[in-house]
Chain A
Amino acid sequence: MVNLIQYLFAGLTMGVIYALTGVGFNLIYNATGVINFAQGEFVMVGAMLLYTFQEVLHIPSPIALVLVVIGGIIVGLVFEHTVVKPLMPMGVITVIIGTIGASVVLRGGAMLIWGKDALAVSPLLSERPIFLFGAALNTQVLVVMAITALAVLFLWYFFSHTIVGRAIQACAMNPLAALLAGIPMEEMMALSFLLSGSLSALAGGLIAPITLAEYDMGTMLALKGFCAAIIGGLGNNPGAFVGGLLLGVMEGLSAGYLSSGYKDALAFLVLILILLWRPEGLISRGRGERV
């Protein structure tokens, strides 16, 4: 029994990380229809920035996190202005390929600035785990989970109850109609990159104490985060949250009961099955807006 709970905790630990990255994918997809392959690198930059502020400059953690978010906003906006905006007229596919190029640039840049070694970041609360039902849980996981839940709530409110949020969604659903309705498309796109950049950087800062900060950590995160977003239905934020947790728990359980060697294979097998049978995602109510 204790082991089952421990496997679940192991799954949740990775699950929240996937969930946060998945939500980052959704934000940009919802506004532009683009899958941003540099999403993992946004997270990496956040982790690296937290390392710099907290471990090198010795700024207290809460302030360091705020600075990380500001850094993420800058990265998101610069990314939007230099990669997305110039390529957008050439179509979504071109932008997607552009994001792949940008991810390589970000990774290489981070390697030059922070080096190739993994960097350790101390956790917000305490290094000692708490014990629930006899199983150990890293306190940082609780922090990540709480902040992810808050972020998902905020985003849900923002997109469904504020005029700006709805305007962003309108841009992706029907750009022409949005333009005719007087929605400033370019600003909305910038805003969505700002949101995604800041959230991803925050995610990076939060998970760095668990996973270490490393210049090439983004690739794995993007892959699994993308899986989370797909499982939950691309564009559906609460879906990505649940999808991420589901993916993590699945990995944890298969490492525990099946074989640790098949853990990743199982995750991707589920992804393929979902894409085959429920491409709109497990949690989606089958919205029909996008074809």
Chain B
Amino acid sequence: MQKVKIKVAKLLIFSLGLFLLTYPFTSSQAEEAYRIGAIFAVTGPAAWLGDPEKKAVELMVQRINRQGGLLGKRVKVVIYDTYGDPQAAVLKARELITRDRVMAILGPSRTPTSAAVMKALQLDREENRFQVPLVSCAAGRILTKPVKPWVFTTPQTNALAAERIVSYLSEKGIRRVGIIYVSNEFGEDGYESLKGSAAKHRITIVGVETYGGKDRDMTAQLTKLATKGPQAIINWSVGPTSVIVTRNFKELGLDKKGILLVMSHGQGNIKYVQLCGKAAEGVILPAGKILVAEDLPNADPQKRVLLSFKEAYESAYHEPVSHFAAHAYDALMLVVNAIKRGKVRPGDGKGLKEALEQYCRGFVGADGVFNYTPQDHNGLSVQDLVMLKVKKGRFILIH
């Protein structure tokens, strides 16, 4: 009996010692650090989005911690891969909240994954059991229109890009446009936005054509559009199809017939120009200012922010900075800004959400100047987009 007691006591003392040994490290760090989660499509078909996003977040968190952290505490970021898959995104988001106890989630990269997370965690309701804001890097209208209490987004929306294009064309005296778009959510959203803007600026849409995401020849659609006599053709898609449209447009010699080719902000990526080769010359498109940071006038409020981020990113990763890196940069920096100015305590997701709505007005980010309010969780405006033209294989600022 005595022996057993001693054994139990020994065991107790041993485990107490073990507990004491690990306690200061685990719990104090967990309590003291600002824990932020991120889910991006780092691998899989949307890796071209998720990869730069992850890099941007890692870079900035490193920089913040090197400069003494946030309100005297470290920022700890946990990043998971969604593979671009909605189910995986939901799973990882839950893991971030329940296991990693994060106070905010950055990402996901795409609209379908973001919408899935929003639905699964009931972030579209004011009252839900998680109380963690999601700052998504996707642009879909479903995420912000109408406003969802716990969902914020950073990219310029289709509606803004469409408005930017149409107002530019209208200023140039163009009255008749043809539209060609990829028949998926992104293309359709773009088309709807263009329709709205065109009506506003009294521009006539003379023809509309579509194509599939895997199609590799659009000459038939472009030929048909050209017969309707448009002064400009606007294409709305992402990925290789936009390259094919550009090449086919040039092959058909439509530029020589005086038609202007306009791309969506989805082509704001130098890879697009490289893939098109000479065919991209003269194409115009709206884009965030990050692509032409050096060319911006000095008075532009974003110039300093953009140059500093661009330089840090490009020297760390030896690849050109992209819009996607900018989306993730903004997601993180908006959260950091809200915590700092709202004096939000670690782990207080509800406080963070309110701070995002209150203290992010006129916040100068990489995608634009944000004005988050309880009614607007995207917070960007048409002024945050510039019009670019492809000239000699690079983007130049035209407006």
- Chain A interface residues (CB < 8 Å from chain B): 3, 6-7, 9-11, 13-14, 17, 116-120, 122, 127, 129, 136, 138, 210-212, 214, 216, 219-220, 252-253, 255-256, 259-261, 263-264
Who on chain A is nearest to B212 by CB?
Answer: A264
Quick check: A116 and B47 within 8 Å, CB to CB? yes
A-B contacts, 23 listed (Cβ < 8 Å):
A3-B224, A3-B227, A10-B223, A13-B219, A17-B216, A118-B239, A129-B251, A136-B219, A136-B251, A136-B252, A136-B253, A212-B216, A212-B240, A220-B214, A255-B211, A256-B220, A256-B224, A260-B209, A260-B224, A261-B183, A261-B210, A263-B212, A263-B215
Q: Which residues of A contact B275 (CB under 8 A)?
A: 118-120, 212
CB distance from A236 to the nearest CB of B (A): 26
CB distance from B54 to the nearest CB of A (A): 14
CB distance from A269 to the nearest CB of B (A): 15
Quick check: B221 and A255 within 8 Å, CB to CB? yes
- B87 an interface residue at 8 Å Cβ cutoff? no
CB distance from B340 to the nearest CB of A (A): 36
CA distance A240 to B223 in the complex (A): 28
- B243 an interface residue at 8 Å Cβ cutoff? yes
Quick check: A118 and B220 within 8 Å, CB to CB? no
Closest 9 CB pairs of A and B: A255-B220, A211-B216, A10-B220, A118-B240, A10-B219, A220-B214, A6-B223, A256-B220, A129-B251
Quick check: A256 and B223 within 8 Å, CB to CB? yes
CA distance A13 to B221 in the complex (A): 14
Q: Which residues of B contact A214 (CB under 8 A)?
A: 240
- Counting chain B residues whose Cβ lies within 8 A of the other chain, the interface size class is 20 to 34
Overall SS of chain A's interface: helix
Q: Which residues of B contact A260 (CB under 8 A)?
A: 209-211, 220-221, 224
In chain B, positions 227-244 with a C-beta closer than 8 Å to chain A are 227, 239-240, 243-244
CA distance A149 to B275 in the complex (A): 29
In chain B, positions 273-294 with a C-beta closer than 8 Å to chain A are 274-278
Q: Which residues of A contact B251 (CB under 8 A)?
A: 129, 136, 138
Give which listed residue, B212, B223, B271, B276, contacts A7 with CB less than 8 A.
B223
- B45 an interface residue at 8 Å Cβ cutoff? yes
Q: Which residues of B contact A261 (CB under 8 A)?
A: 183, 210
Q: What 16 additional pairs, Cβ within 8 angstroms, besides A127-B277, A253-B220, A263-B212?
A: A6-B223, A7-B220, A11-B220, A14-B217, A117-B271, A118-B243, A118-B275, A119-B275, A120-B277, A136-B251, A136-B252, A138-B251, A211-B244, A219-B214, A260-B210, A260-B211
| Given A6-B223, A214-B240, A255-B224; A117-B48 close (CB under 8 Å) | yes
Q: Which residues of A contact B214 (CB under 8 A)?
A: 219-220
Q: Which residues of A contact B277 (CB under 8 A)?
A: 120, 122, 127
Q: Which residues of B contact A259 (CB under 8 A)?
A: 210
Give which listed residue, A13, A14, A127, contacts B278 with CB less than 8 A.
A127
Who on chain A is nearest to B213 by CB?
Answer: A220
CA distance A224 to B333 in the complex (A): 47
Q: Which residues of A contact B48 (CB under 8 A)?
A: 116-117
Who on chain B is nearest to A112 by CB?
Answer: B43
Q: Which residues of A contact B210 (CB under 8 A)?
A: 259-261
